[in-house]
Amino acid sequence: MDIKSLEDRFNEKIDEDVRIEPKDWMPDNYRKTLIRQISQHAHSEIVGMLPEANWISRAPTLRRKAAALAKVQDEAGHGLYLYSACETLGVERDQLLQDLHSGKAKYSSIFNYPTLTWADMGAIGWLVDGAAIMNQVPLCRASYGPYARAMVRVCKEESFHQRQGFEIMLTLCKGSEEQKKMAQDALNRWWWPSLMMFGPTDEASTHTEQSMRWGIKRFTNDELRQKFVDATKPQADLLGITIPDKDLKWNEERGHYDFGEINWEEFFNVIKGNGPCNKQRVDARKSAYDNGAWVREAAAAHAEKKSKKQAAA
Amino acid sequence: MTDLTKYNYVLQHADNCLILGQRLGEWCGHGPILEQDIAMTNISLDLIGQARMWYQYAAEIQNEGKSEDDIAYLRDAWGYRNVLLVEQPNGDFAQTIFRQFLYDTYSCYFYEALMNSSDERLAAIAAKSHKEALYHIKWSGDWVIRLGDGTEESHNRMVAAVQELWSYAGELIKPNETEAKAHEEGYGVDLSAIKEKRDAKIREVLTEATLEVPESTYAHEGGKDGRHSEHLGYILADLQFLQRAYPGLEW
């Protein structure tokens, strides 16, 4: 088949909402876009382990400690299946990790902010996982099969994490004055970075149009951001804490909340590497990788010796 | 308190699980391979789960209206009864593996024996924990072999880990007064009966790993009676921070 008819067949599948599978022909740019997006997502999962792992040793009760361990472990698991989905597109996990370490590949900027109090464990679950779910639920219908299937599992666990985060916030908000202050402070620090998780405005987004055409993306950044604000404002009211945006108010005509201007200068600065923890996060990943090199070599060497022995026997 | 010996006996095991779980949790996000990061977190999670069962029982025996967290979080170092092994630092991956292996070779035989305890509650904790311990020893034993037999570097690192930790192996199977009394009363495990099995397992795995079993039998001890290394204070500073900074709150 010539390229033209392969392309037509591919576009037909996309139009008919038929999943593209690893062995199917696909345009180079579709493949590249998927590798970029899925690996970025995988990296976000494993870099995202760090800010929360920061509070495991200090979790205030055994129940919270166990939940924190389980949550961070889930994220590692998400990283695993997303790296596997990426490998079906013909790129090795090791290469993807190199790209993360060199700064070539990105991860969600939200994880470049520090976790300063226990309330951040609540705020991350409630807001960051909440925003992630908004982004990710539509991806369960993404056109690429392995990605869509990985996302089904990811989303189930994320919604559990979101409820768990909200429950941490609720406990704090029902607690002492100091605990409530902790919760408000966490909301103040995580609110705007959470809105930034949806990416640049539709006008400024370079990838949206093509990704929507390919069925990799189903809603625009601004649509998802609005959905998130609409869902989250009543939750903040329920908690009795205040979203740090004086322009946030219900717009009867639009049937949505209006909200203030995002500080895009901060957003692009963090993406460029100037966030409070960009260096620490990448350094932590690199040092885990570098310090683990001898372990990976030992495992490979032992496996080889073992298979030689078995072959000789 | 109706039974101080049983309370202390339960606490020893609760503290072992908590402190080792706390140590392993430090690896979370920093493991050498993503799959092993998950494995260590998983074992940490098992240990925290076991610690909770033990502390809940301790709270019931104590019968002063305290919760699992009151007991786990609100003692000073001298009140903790874990063995010295579990508070030792993670070191490199080889050291973490060998610490885990020494603990697992003890815990799987300990729980196996405890399943026959005259105390039903202890037998139930043992039955649940034994299943997990079997998985843990499979994991740590396989890694001792992989690293010992792997490359020159990994072999040398395993040799160093064995040297570093060997003197903490003895305390696990040497009964203190509490354990001796618990055995006498029929609910505790006879540690001398599991020593042989444990030693044989260590020998079997180290031999397959091309590592030597050290001859020294000198054992650091005291942890079971509240005499600890300098490390424990720092572990507790992290563990207890919120409970100490904001006493008496719900979290």
pTM score, whole prediction: 0.96
SS3 annotation, B182-246: HHHCCCCCCHHHHHHHHHHHHHHHHHHCCCCCCCCCCCCCCHHHCCCCCHHHHHHHHHHHHHHHC
Q: What is the mean pLDDT of residues A5-12?
A: 94
pLDDT at A215 over 90: no
Contacts of A296 in chain B (CB under 8 A): 32-33
Q: In the structure, what pLDDT confidence band is assigned to residue A118 with cuts at 50, 70 and 90?
A: very high
Report CB contact under 8 Å: A288, B72: no
The answer to whether the CB of B14 falls within 8 A of the CB of B72 is yes
Instruction: Give rounded-to-5 percent helix, strand, coil for chain B.
Output: 70, 0, 30
Of B81, B101, B77, which is closest to residue B166 (Cα–Cα)? B101
Q: pLDDT tens, B98-139?
A: 999 999 999 999 999 999 999 999 999 999 999 999 999 999
**What pLDDT was estimated at residue B235?**
98
- The CATH code of the domain at B4-245 is 1.20.1260.10
- Measured over the CA atoms of residue A212, residue A216, residue A219 and residue A221, the dihedral's sign is negative
On the CB side of A254, CA atoms within 13 Å amount to: 11
Q: Tell whether the model's pLDDT for residue A252 goes beyond 80.
A: yes
CA A106 to chain centre: 11
The C-alpha angle A147, A153, A155, rounded to 5 degrees, equals: 95
Shortest CA gap B17–chain A (Å): 12
Q: Report chain A residues whose CB lies below 8 A from the CB of B152.
A: none
Q: Mean pLDDT throughout A239-257? A: 98
Residues 28-87 of B with CB under 8 A from A: 28-38, 41-42, 44-45, 48-49, 51-52, 55, 68-69, 72-73
Test B38 with A118 for CB contact under 8 angstroms: no
* Mutation choice for A interface testing from B30, B36, B56, B159 by most A CBs within 10 A: B30
Tokens of B93: 């991956």
For chains A and B, count residue pairs whose Cβ atoms are closer than 8 Å.
141
pLDDT, one tens digit per residue, over B128-150 is 999 999 999 999 999 999 999 99
B45 and A66: CB-CB below 8 Å? Answer: yes
In this structure, what are the phi and psi dihedrals at residue B222, rounded to the nearest 5 degrees?
125, -25
Question: Looking at beta carbons, which residues of chain B come within 8 Å of A79?
Answer: 34
Residue with tokens 């019931």: B60
Strands (E), A140-288: 249-251, 256-258
- Say yes or no to pLDDT of A207 above 90: no
Q: Cβ distance A159 to A133 under 8 Å?
A: yes
- Comparing C-alpha atoms, which of A169, A76, A97 is closest to residue A128? A169
Q: How confident is the model at residue B225 (pLDDT cuts 50, 70, 90)?
A: very high
Looking at residue A302, its pLDDT comes to: 97
d(CA B53, CA B128): 10
CB of B218 less than 8 A from some CB of A: no
Closest CA to B47 of A71, A65, A52, A61: A65
Q: Do the Cβ atoms of B36 and B94 come closer than 8 Å? A: no
- Report whether pLDDT(B1) > 80: no
Q: How many CB atoms lie within 10 A of CB A115?
A: 21
Domains of chain B by residue range: 4-245
